Amino acid sequence: MDYFLTEQQLMIRETARQVARERIVPVRAELDEKEEFPWEVVKACAAADLFAIWVPEAYGGLGGGILDLCVCVEELSRACAGVAVSYAASALGTIPIVLFGSEEQKAKYLPDVAAGRKLGAFALTEAGAGSDASGVQTTARRDGDHYVLNGTKQWITNGGDAETYTVVAITDRSRGPRGASAFIVEKGTPGFTFGKKEIKMGIRSSSTRELVFTDCRVPKENLLGREGQGFIIAMKTLDKSRPGIGAQALGIAQGAFDEAVAYSRQRVQFGHPISSFQAVQHMLANMAIKIEASRSLIYSVARFIDSGVKDYSKESAMAKVFPSDTAMEVTTDAVQILGGYGYMRDYPVEKMMRDAKITQIYEGTNQVIRNVIGLALVKEFAKHVQA
Ligand SMILES: Cc1cc2nc3c(=O)[nH]c(=O)nc-3n(C[C@H](O)[C@H](O)[C@H](O)COP(=O)(O)OP(=O)(O)OC[C@H]3O[C@@H](n4cnc5c(N)ncnc54)[C@H](O)[C@@H]3O)c2cc1C
């Protein structure tokens, strides 16, 4: 299928594909086994200008849109989703600065991000605040020219490895959902430390860690937007980034499909390659249909967002749910096509199946995301009836 990508998008795809082929594929199994953060690959992505994609040109970036970012994430994930999420989490952590940062904040933080010298991270989740972000307990109390942060964030991707964190904390509990604010917190700020590092089922080369704030004094200049805008900033950021999770899932599914087709052509049973059996062909056909449907949805939604429309929560949610369910189904079928070999670590589909699962969970579980879609549909219907 030709998706009529721009010259820049084609260049990004080719560059990311090359980094994936040359720098990720040879080390992915070892990174996964050792749960090692992929610093060498991060450096290769930086050298290839991939961290510049989502940063505006005025701050050293390429000024690309969501489709540019999705194309890159897809290609990196096709090789290894653990590496790809370390890359994508830097976008998630710094898109709030692109969207809501002041001129000074953008000029201070974005050039290092665009150059890949510093990674970003996004910190909303806490032990008691998962799907229900209103459960956030971390507080930020104004004290003169500073805010004083106290609390613990959980499961933060790039935790410990990133330098620039967007952190959501409560500034005024009495204001309910309007009582949260977002802050840029730099690694090394006194009172900001890192806690438990998680051991995970998949995306094991990415780091997932606690952030601990103990009387951590953050300059008032690091408040993003206005006091009380914290949840709006978080939700607008997630609306922008969810197609990127879809792209991660799509890359995983494509990678598993590639392996399954190649294997089916060389594995001989009953005197024939297993690719000649109709049952296997039907599985491959179903995998290919779902992959292409996912790609069509992600690219269309990304273009819709890049066109400048204001409200795209529903579409963005769709571009996360369908591809992530697809990734789980396709990787499971890929393991099935490889039979017992698919279950062994000698072949990459076992890792891909483990990696796929998280795409149904983070940035909103697929149940909660379906709630978002359902609510939007009901509202749209009500508006339509009133008109
Ligand atoms: C590897 C990893 C990396 C992560 N990285 C980050 C990060 O960088 N930054 C960050 O802030 N967070 C991060 N998270 C957190 C992630 O976004 C949350 O795990 C996710 O939002 C779900 O929250 P929860 O795990 O607490 O599940 P819960 O909210 O406890 O949900 C448990 C189950 O209940 C269901 N459920 C809950 N509420 C509803 C409802 N209203 N309707 C229907 N079903 C419901 C869910 O679908 C799920 O099946 C990460 C998580 C993981 C595992």
pLDDT in tens, 244-282: 999 999 999 999 999 999 999 999 999 999 999 999 999
Q: What is the pLDDT of residue 367?
A: 98
Q: What is the pLDDT of residue 102?
A: 98
Residues near 12 by beta carbon (within 8 Å), at least 6 away in sequence:
50, 53, 64, 68, 71, 72
Helix ranges, 5-102 (H): 7-19, 28-34, 39-47, 66-79, 81-100
CB neighbour class for 336 (10 Å; exposed up to 12, middle 13-18, buried from 19): middle
- Using the mean position of ligand 1's atoms as its centre, give its distance from the Cα of residue 210 in Å: 15
Distance CA 342, CA 211 (A): 37
- Using the mean position of ligand 1's atoms as its centre, give its distance from the Cα of residue 373 in Å: 17
- The amino acid sitting at 373 is I
Q: pLDDT (tens digit, 9 = 90+) per residue, 142-195?
A: 999 999 999 999 999 999 999 999 999 999 999 998 999 999 999 999 999 999
Q: What are the catalytic residues? A: 363
- Using the mean position of ligand 1's atoms as its centre, give its distance from the Cα of residue 363 in Å: 7
Q: Which atom of ligand 1 is nearest to the CA of 92?
A: 8
Contact in structure between 243 and 66 (CB atoms under 8 Å): yes
Contact in structure between 372 and 317 (CB atoms under 8 Å): yes
Give the pTM: 0.97
- Cα–Cα separations (whole angstroms), residue 76 to 2, 91, 95, 324, 373: 20, 14, 19, 16, 28
Q: How confident is the model at residue 385 (pLDDT cuts 50, 70, 90)?
A: confident
Q: pLDDT (tens digit, 9 = 90+) per residue, 295-331?
A: 999 999 999 999 999 999 999 999 999 999 999 999 9
Q: How confident is the model at residue 65 (pLDDT cuts 50, 70, 90)?
A: very high
pLDDT over 70 percentage in the chain: 100
Pocket test for ligand 1, best of 122, 126, 155 (most atoms within 8 A of CB): 155
Question: What is the CB < 6 Å shell around ligand 1?
Answer: 89, 122-125, 130-131, 155-157, 200, 208, 358, 361-365, 367-368, 371
Residues near 301 by beta carbon (within 8 Å), at least 6 away in sequence:
243, 246, 312, 315, 316, 318, 319
- The amino acid sitting at 105 is Q
- Using the mean position of ligand 1's atoms as its centre, give its distance from the Cα of residue 25 in Å: 29
Say what angle helices 313-342 and 278-306 make with each other, to 10 degrees: 150
